[in-house]
Every structure is written in structure tokens, then in C-alpha cells.
Structure 1
Amino acid sequence: MIKTKKDKKHLLVISQYFYPEQFRINDMCEEWVKRGYKVTVVTGIPNYPEGRFFSGYNWLKRRKEKYKGIDIIRIP
């Protein structure tokens, strides 16, 4: 059986923390992608543990990005 894009299951992950912050949810999402899932993460602007936005991030920029096949949507 040949799989098409229609066959892919889509996972929506909502997490306070995600890449470039280092948490286990990153590894879990990477594994789901390897297993054939389409993964979208809704998360905040990276600021852990300092409480300041990471370089290159602010309230107005970089709202959508990709990381290792994972779609990331950042919300304030």
C-alpha cells in the first residue's frame, strides 16, 4: 500500500516551551515526524530560563517556522 499525504495523521501539540528551548517535547515531536506524522506545535516565544526572549525573537517577528519537519506557530 502506497501512502499519500492524505494518509498522514496530523498531531497538534500545544506547549508552553519548544525549540530552541531544550525540553523533552522536542524529542517527542521529532519521533512522531520520523513515524510519519505531520506535527504542528503551538507555543510561546522562547524565553526560558532567563525570562528574556532568545536572540532573533520578539513580539513582532518569526511567528511561523519549521524545525526538523515540525511546523511551529508562536503566539505571545
Structure 2
Amino acid sequence: MITLYQLEGCPYCETVDEELTSLEIPYESVWVDGLHSKRDEVKRVSGQRQVPLLVDEEYGVTMAESENILSYLECTYA
């Protein structure tokens, strides 16, 4: 199961969302608050509050930074 933590209106999040859709990878979206200080769930999962954040339970991967996520998806699922 893949979970994508994202923020509405975030272009980096939208890019990852589009790539997941393009690769036809099923995933769950978790929408987070715009305020960094309110992103406690993101911090609990990854130790930081940045989005997008991808969690791939199948491979035990948790990562932020859209470019890293896109590379990971391409290498792992394309």
C-alpha cells in the first residue's frame, strides 16, 4: 500500500499525484494542513513536516522531496 501525504494546491504534490496516476499505482491520499506546525501525523511518520511525503509499505520506503519520489517511482514501478 502506498500513501501520499499532500497539501492542496501544492505543485510538487500534484506532480507526484500525476505520476502515481500515470503509472496506474493505487494509493491513498492523506491531505495535510497548510501550517507546518499542524502536520503532526507527517512528523510522526517521517520525522519531518515536509510534503509531499510518500510511504510505500511494500518496500519499507518513506521519502520526501518530489524529485526523489519521482525517481523512486520510475525505478520501482515503471
Same topology, TM > 0.5 = no
Bigger proportion of residues as helix: 2
TM-score (norm 1): 0.35
Q: Which has the higher contact order (CA 8 A, sep 6+)?
A: 2
Max Rg structure:
1
TM-score (norm 2): 0.34
